Amino acid sequence: MTDTDERHDPTGSSRASEPAPRGGHPDDARLFGPEAVAKLRVALEEVTWLLGRGYPLRTAIRTVGDHHQLAARQRLALQRSACSEAQRASRLARRAPASSLRGAEANIDGFNLIITLEVALSGGLLVRGPEGVLRDLAGLRGSYAPIAETDSAIDLLGGALSDAGAARARVLLDAAVPSSGKLRARLLERLGGAPSSSGAPPSIEATLVPDPDRLLVGAAGVVSSDSVLLDRCACWINLADEIVAAHVPAARIVDLVPGDEAPGP
């Protein structure tokens, strides 16, 4: 699904004020308004500098967050997105377009992708990091349940796979996450006959496994925003970003890297 550092609040503060899982936080307009984003971009540069000199991520976030007096949700956005310059370069060197899936297999980090699309469809906040990846701040590890937007998210995935001409898609779901069996059933039901512009629909395999990351490390055609996988896969597809850009134009996205410094599509 994702690594622990990415999914949990870096401050350890109470989450009692958190809103419904996929929608926006009531303070997002203030925490991620123009002035706040400008500060976050500076903070991300400083975290990147510290990571490049061997500082642990949590230490870098705490140091920079304290210096800029960042709120817990802002620190979470940084923690989910930050990487060193070396990591960014390596990830971009192994990023492949969706068209590379034609006749090939997509290896999908199931909860990671579906939750990102659910958040986009629900009007929740997404942050785009240095390598161009969208990440949510929902913090749903261990508490997932399908919502009204789940079927739409699955349908968008099916359409993207068909448009790319993928021959097969392997969707891996963390068996320990609540409702993993329900999500698997819905994936198979809705994607089993997904139409394909290239002819036959892609073959879909949705599997409950103890540790999706272990099976995705070293794989090609990986679809995930998990930092561990982006650092260790053979190649990856920025499919969530492509889907959201094409089908959810009103999605709430905060770019933590200025446009002139962001990676191309």
Task: Give 10-residue mean pLDDT values along the chain (265 residues).
Answer: 40 36 87 98 98 98 99 98 98 98 98 97 97 92 88 97 96 96 96 60 94 98 98 98 98 89 67
What pLDDT shows up at residue 233? Answer: 99
Domain encompassing residue 23: 4-83
Quote the pLDDT of residue 89: 98
The tally of domains found in the chain comes to: 2
106 and 78 assigned to the same domain? no
Cα distance between residue 92 and residue 225, in whole Å: 13
> Of 83, 117, 135, at which residue does a domain stop?
83
Whether 76 is covered by a domain: the verdict is yes
Q: 103: alpha, beta or left, given left = phi > 0 and alpha = psi -120 to 50?
A: left
Please tell me the predicted confidence (pLDDT) of residue 261: 66
Residue 243 in any domain: the answer is yes
Tell me the C-alpha distance between 6 and 226, whole Å: 8
Q: What is the pLDDT of residue 207?
A: 98
Which residues is 208 bridged to in the sheet?
173
| Residues 180 and 114 reside in one and the same domain | yes
Nearest Cα neighbor of 6 from 244, 225, 230 is: 225
In a domain, 159, yes or no: yes
Does 74 share its domain with 40?
Answer: yes
Cα–chain-centroid distance for residue 28?
Answer: 19
Same domain, 68 and 152: no
User: How far from the centroid of its chain's Cα atoms is residue 116's Cα?
Assistant: 6
Domain boundary among 39, 54, 83: 83
pLDDT the model gives residue 138: 86
In this structure, are 72 and 150 located in the same domain?
no
264 found inside a domain: no
Residues 6+ positions from 238 with CB-CB distance below 8 Å = 95, 132, 133
Same domain, 117 and 206: yes
Q: Say what the pLDDT of residue 264 is.
A: 65
**What's the confidence (pLDDT) of residue 241?**
98
- Give the pLDDT confidence score for residue 19 in this predicted structure: 31
Would 118 be classed as within a structural domain? yes
**pLDDT score recorded for residue 13:** 38
Note the pLDDT of residue 260: 58
Residue 262 lies in a domain: no
Helix-helix angle 150-164:239-247, to 10 degrees: 110
Q: Is the pTM of this model over 0.85?
A: yes
State whether 100 and 79 are in the same domain. no
